[in-house]
C-alpha cells in the first residue's frame, strides 16, 4: 500500500486524476453542506441569469449562471453528480460481478462452456452498445434501477474477456494444481485461489469502464431515457439547455465540462493503475 | 488460411443469428403496437383483426420461426409507421450514415495517424505532450456535447455552417468533425503506443544496424507492424459508426440509421427496429471479418499457424 501511494505521488497524470476525482466525489457527498441553492427550486426572476462572479457568496449569485427556470447551474451540476456517480458506480460494480464470475467460469472450465460464453460476448459486441441500451431501456421503462441494469449489461463483456484470459494462465499454475490434488472442490478453487488473483485486473477494467459508463449514462439521459425530471442529471441538463443555445450558452456548456473533467480524471487514474499493475492489460 | 477464414465466417453467422434472436425477444417487451396503430376508441373486433393480421396472436415460438424464415430472405415485414417493407425504410437511410461514418473515419485516421506517428518519433518533445494531451481530452469529451459546442461556435456565433440537416457538403462538416475528434484521439494514442512497442523490437535494431535508410526502416519495419492493432481499432470504430451514431445524428438532425431506429423505438415500430438492428449487426460482423482478413495479410504469423 505504501509502495502504491508513493508511486501514485510520483506520477503526474495519475496523481492529477486522483486529486480531481477525490474533489468531485467529495463535492457530491458533501453537497448539502456547501450552502448551495436548492437545485430544483425555480426562480422566475432569475431565468437565464448569466454567470457572474461578483458577490459570489451573496444569495442569488450564480457563478455558472441559471437555467431556463432560474435554477442555479452550479448547484444542479453538483447535485447531478450524486446521481451520475452513484448510477455509474453501481453499474460498473454489477457488471463487474457478473463479468468476473463468467470470465472465471469460462477460463477455468474451458471447452464447451468457454465457447458458449465467448460466442455470447461476440453476439453482444455485434450490437452497438448505445442501441442495445436504448432498446433495453425502452423495453423496461426509464428509471434509475433499469438504467443501472442497462449500463451493467453493456459492461460485463469487457471484464469477462480480460478475466478469462488471466484465468487461462492461472489454471495451470502450481497452487491451483496442488489445490486440485488435495481434493479441493471446484467452487473452492475458483473462489479461494483464482478470484483473489484476478481482482487487480478487474479493478483496472472497472476504472476504465467507469469513464465509459458515465458518458453513456449522460447520452441516455440526453435522449430522454435516463434520469427523469425534475432531478438534475448532466445529460438532461444538456438536452434542456441545447434549446437555448443561441441565447444562453452557459446552460449547455458547463454540464458538458463537468462530464469532460470527470471522465478525464477517471481515465487518467485508470491509465495509471493499468500501467502500474500490469501494462499487458492494454488492449 | 482458408480454414482460419471459414472458422471466422462461422462465428460471424452465429453472431448475427444471436443478435436477431435477442432483438426479436426484446422488442416483444416494448409494448403492444396494436394499441398504437389503431385510432383511439377502436372496437375490440378491430383490435383482434389487426392482431391476427400482424401475426401477434400466434404462440411466441411460432412468431419467432416465421420471423427467422422471413428474415433470411430479407423480409422483416411492413413498417407499422410507413406501411412499406421495413428493410426498405432502413436501407434508404444507409447512404446518409455511410457518408458520415466514412468521412469521419478517414478524417480521424488521417489526423490521428499523423499525430500518433509524430508523438512516437519525437519522444519527450513538446509535440508529443500536445498530441497526448489533446488525445486524452478528445477521449474524455462526450461526443454529443462536442457537437453542441461546435454548433455554438461555428453555426451560432460565427454563422459559417448550418446547425444541422442534410444535403449539401456544408451540412456534413460539423457532424463529421465531431465524430472524427473521437476517432483521431483513439487512433493517435493506440498508434503511438504500438509504434513505441515496435521500436523496441530486435528486428528494428537489426534493420538500422544494416544501415537501411531511416525512411525505409520506418515504412517497412516500424509502421507496417505498428499498424496491426490500429487496423483492428479502425475496424471496430468503422463498425460502430456504420451502426449509426445515435446521438450525433440526433444532435445534427442527420437522417441516418441510428436516428431512424431511435424513432422506431419511440413509435414501437417493431419491423423497423428488427430490420435496422439486424442490418447493423450484419455490417458490424462483416467489417470485423474484413479486419480479420487484413490482419492475416499484415501479420505473417497468422498465415503460418492456420
DSSP collapsed to 3 states, B292-304: HHHHHHHCHHHHH
Closest residue to A246, CB basis, from B15, B156, B285: B156
Q: Hey, which of A8-12, A165-169, A242-246, B88-92 has the most confident mean pLDDT?
A: B88-92
- The pLDDT value recorded for residue B245 is 80
Q: Please give the angle made by the CA atoms of A208, A201 and A161, to the nearest 5 degrees.
A: 80
- The pLDDT value recorded for residue B301 is 63
A contacts of B261 (beta carbons < 8 Å): 131, 134
Confidence category of residue A65, pLDDT binned at 50, 70, 90: confident
- The pLDDT value recorded for residue B100 is 92
DSSP letter for A51, please.
P
Kindly write down the DSSP assignment for every residue of B10-26, as one continuous string. Answer: HHHHHHHHHHHHHHHHH
Q: What integer is the mean pLDDT of A177-188? A: 86
Closest residue to A127, CB basis, from B19, B30, B251: B19
What sign does the dihedral B253-B257-B263-B265 (CA atoms) show? Answer: negative
A contacts of B142 (beta carbons < 8 Å): 215, 218-219, 256, 259-260, 263
B303 pLDDT above the threshold of 60: no
Cell numbers given for B25: 425477444
A84 pLDDT above the threshold of 60: yes
A107 pLDDT above the threshold of 60: yes
- The pLDDT value recorded for residue A244 is 87
B88 pLDDT above the threshold of 80: yes
- The pLDDT value recorded for residue A262 is 93
A contacts of B244 (beta carbons < 8 Å): 128, 131
Residue contact A134–B152, C-beta within 8 A: no
B contacts of A238 (beta carbons < 8 Å): 144-145, 148
Confidence category of residue A166, pLDDT binned at 50, 70, 90: confident
Q: What integer is the mean pLDDT of A170-195? A: 85
B305 pLDDT above the threshold of 50: no
Confidence category of residue B214, pLDDT binned at 50, 70, 90: confident
Lowest-pLDDT range of B63-77, B80-94, B141-155, B284-298: B284-298
Residue contact B136–A264, C-beta within 8 A: yes
- The pLDDT value recorded for residue A214 is 92
- The pLDDT value recorded for residue B306 is 37
CA dihedral (B87, B91, B97, B98) in degrees, to 10, reads 130
Confidence category of residue B180, pLDDT binned at 50, 70, 90: very high
- The pLDDT value recorded for residue A89 is 94
By CA distance, what is A220's nearest residue in B? B247
- The pLDDT value recorded for residue A104 is 92
A contacts of B15 (beta carbons < 8 Å): 119, 122-123, 125-126
A80 pLDDT above the threshold of 90: no
B267 pLDDT above the threshold of 50: yes
B1 pLDDT above the threshold of 70: no
Put simply, whether A119 touches B (Cβ < 8 Å) is: yes
* Best of A88, A117, A123, A241 to mutate (most B CBs within 10 Å, chain B): A123
Put simply, whether A219 touches B (Cβ < 8 Å) is: yes
Residue contact A253–B247, C-beta within 8 A: no
The question of ipTM being above 0.90 is answered as: no
By CA distance, what is A219's nearest residue in B? B247
Q: Counting one residue from A and one from B, how many pairs have CB atoms under 8 Å apart?
A: 124
Q: What integer is the mean pLDDT of A116-126? A: 84
Residue contact A215–B142, C-beta within 8 A: yes
Q: Please give the angle made by the CA atoms of B166, B171 and B172, to the nearest 5 degrees.
A: 100
Q: Hey, which of A96-105, A182-191, B194-203 has the most confident mean pLDDT?
A: A96-105
Exposed/middle/buried for residue A231 (C-beta within 10 Å: 0-12, 13-18, 19+):
middle
B contacts of A250 (beta carbons < 8 Å): none
Closest residue to B140, CB basis, from A128, A255, A263: A263
B15 pLDDT above the threshold of 60: yes
CA A164 to each of CA A118, A171, A278, B236: distance values in angstroms, whole numbers, following the listed order: 9, 10, 16, 21
* Best of B97, B148, B292 to mutate (most A CBs within 10 Å, chain A): B148
User: Are A259 and A10 within 8 A, CB to CB?
Assistant: no
Rounded CA-CA distance B295/B277 in Å is 27
- The pLDDT value recorded for residue B189 is 87
pLDDT, tens digit, for every residue of A126-163?
Answer: 777 787 888 888 778 778 888 899 899 888 988 998 89
The half-sphere exposure of A1 on its side-chain side, counting CA atoms within 13 A, is 0
Rounded CA-CA distance A28/B7 in Å is 50
Confidence category of residue A48, pLDDT binned at 50, 70, 90: confident
Residue contact A218–B139, C-beta within 8 A: no
B contacts of A119 (beta carbons < 8 Å): 11, 14-15, 18
B83 pLDDT above the threshold of 70: yes
Rounded CA-CA distance B103/B110 in Å is 11
Cell numbers given for B217: 526502416
Q: Hey, which of A261-265, B69-73, B224-228 has the most confident mean pLDDT?
A: A261-265
Lowest-pLDDT range of A71-85, B25-39, B190-204: B25-39
* Best of A127, A137, A140, A283 to mutate (most B CBs within 10 Å, chain B): A127
- The pLDDT value recorded for residue A138 is 77
Q: What integer is the mean pLDDT of A268-273? A: 87
Confidence category of residue B104, pLDDT binned at 50, 70, 90: very high
Put simply, whether A116 touches B (Cβ < 8 Å) is: no
By CA distance, what is B186's nearest residue in A? A283
A207 pLDDT above the threshold of 70: yes
- The pLDDT value recorded for residue B110 is 94
Residue contact B240–A128, C-beta within 8 A: yes
Q: What integer is the mean pLDDT of B171-199? A: 88
- The pLDDT value recorded for residue B242 is 79
A236 pLDDT above the threshold of 60: yes
A218 pLDDT above the threshold of 70: yes
A contacts of B152 (beta carbons < 8 Å): 245, 249, 252-253
B contacts of A123 (beta carbons < 8 Å): 14-15, 18-19, 22
Q: Hey, which of A250-254, B28-32, B222-226 has the most confident mean pLDDT?
A: A250-254
Residue among B1, B54, B2 at smallest CA distance from B28: B54
Q: A76 to chain B nearest CA, in Å?
A: 17
- The pLDDT value recorded for residue A102 is 93
Amino acid at each position: 500500500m505504501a509502495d502504491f501511494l508513493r508511486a501514485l505521488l510520483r506520477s503526474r497524470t495519475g496523481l492529477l486524476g486522483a486529486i480531481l476525482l477525490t474533489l468531485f466525489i467529495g463535492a457530491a457527498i458533501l453537497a448539502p453542506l456547501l450552502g448551495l441553492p436548492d437545485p430544483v427550486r425555480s426562480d422566475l426572476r432569475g431565468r437565464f441569469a448569466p454567470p457572474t462572479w461578483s458577490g459570489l457568496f451573496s444569495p442569488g449569485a450564480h457563478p455558472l449562471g441559471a437555467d431556463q427556470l432560474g435554477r442555479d447551474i452550479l448547484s444542479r451540476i453538483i447535485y447531478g453528480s450524486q446521481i451520475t456517480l452513484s448510477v455509474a458506480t453501481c453499474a460498473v460494480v454489477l457488471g463487474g460481478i457478473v463479468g468476473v464470475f463468467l470470465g472465471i467460469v469460462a477460463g477455468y472450465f474451458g471447452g464447451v462452456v468457454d465457447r458458449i460464453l465467448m460466442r455470447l460476448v461476440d453476439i453482444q459486441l455485434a450490437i452497438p452498445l448505445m442501441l442495445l441500451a436504448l432498446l433495453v431501456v425502452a423495453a423496461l421503462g426509464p428509471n434509475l434501477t433499469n438504467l443501472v441494469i442497462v449500463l451493467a449489461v453493456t459492461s460485463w463483456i469487457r471484464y469477462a474477456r480480460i478475466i478469462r484470459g488471466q484465468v487461462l494462465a492461472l489454471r495451470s499454475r502450481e497452487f491451483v494444481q496442488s489445490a486440485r490434488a488435495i481434493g479441493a472442490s471446484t467452487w473452492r478453487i475458483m473462489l479461494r485461489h483464482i478470484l483473489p488473483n484476478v481482482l487487480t485486473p478487474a479493478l483496472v477494467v472497472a476504472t476504465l469502464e467507469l469513464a465509459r459508463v458515465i458518458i453513456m449514462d449522460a447520452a441516455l439521459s440526453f435522449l430522454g431515457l435516463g434520469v427523469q425530471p425534475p432531478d438534475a442529471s448532466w445529460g438532461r441538463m444538456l438536452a434542456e439547455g441545447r434549446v437555448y443555445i443561441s441565447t444562453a450558452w452557459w446552460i449547455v456548456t458547463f454540464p458538458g465540462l463537468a462530464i469532460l473533467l470527470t471522465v478525464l480524471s477517471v481515465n487518467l487514474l485508470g491509465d495509471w493503475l493499468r500501467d502500474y499493475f500490469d501494462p499487458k492489460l492494454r488492449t | 488460411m482458408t480454414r482460419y477464414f471459414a472458422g471466422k465466417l462461422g462465428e460471424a453467422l452465429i453472431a448475427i443469428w444471436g443478435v436477431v434472436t435477442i432483438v426479436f425477444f426484446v422488442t416483444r417487451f416494448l409494448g403492444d403496437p396494436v394499441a398504437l396503430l389503431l385510432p383511439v376508441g377502436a372496437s375490440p373486433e378491430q383490435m383482434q383483426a389487426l392482431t391476427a393480421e400482424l401475426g401477434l396472436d400466434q404462440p411466441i415460438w411460432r412468431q419467432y420461426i416465421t420471423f427467422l424464415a422471413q428474415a433470411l430472405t430479407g423480409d422483416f415485414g411492413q413498417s407499422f409507421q410507413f406501411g412499406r417493407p421495413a428493410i426498405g425504410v432502413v436501407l434508404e437511410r444507409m447512404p446518409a450514415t455511410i457518408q458520415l461514418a466514412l468521412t469521419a473515419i478517414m478524417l480521424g485516421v488521417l489526423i490521428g495517424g499523423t499525430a500518433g506517428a509524430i508523438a512516437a518519433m519525437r519522444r519527450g518533445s513538446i509535440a508529443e505532450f500536445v498530441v497526448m494531451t489533446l488525445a486524452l481530452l478528445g477521449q474524455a469529451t462526450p461526443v454529443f456535447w462536442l457537437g453542441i459546442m461546435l454548433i455554438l461556435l461555428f453555426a451560432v456565433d460565427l454563422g459559417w455552417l448550418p446547425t444541422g440537416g442534410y444535403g449539401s457538403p456544408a451540412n456534413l462538416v460539423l457532424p463529421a468533425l465531431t465524430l472524427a475528434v473521437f476517432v483521431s484521439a483513439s487512433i493517435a494514442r493506440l498508434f503511438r503506443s504500438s509504434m513505441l512497442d515496435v521500436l523496441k523490437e530486435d528486428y528494428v535494431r537489426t534493420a538500422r544496424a544494416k544501415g537501411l535508410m531511416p525512411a525505409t526502416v520506418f515504412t517497412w519495419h516500424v509502421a507496417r507492424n505498428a499498424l496491426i492493432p490500429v487496423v483492428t481499432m479502425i475496424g471496430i470504430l468503422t463498425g460502430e459508426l456504420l451502426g449509426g451514431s445515435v446521438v450525433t445524428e440526433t444532435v445534427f438532425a442527420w437522417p441516418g440509421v441510428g436516428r431512424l431506429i431511435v424513432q422506431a423505438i419511440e413509435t414501437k415500430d417493431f419491423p423497423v427496429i428488427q430490420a435496422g438492428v439486424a442490418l447493423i449487426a450484419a455490417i458490424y460482423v462483416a467489417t470485423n471479418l474484413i479486419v480479420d482478413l487484413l490482419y492475416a495479410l499484415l501479420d505473417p504469423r497468422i498465415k503460418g499457424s492456420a
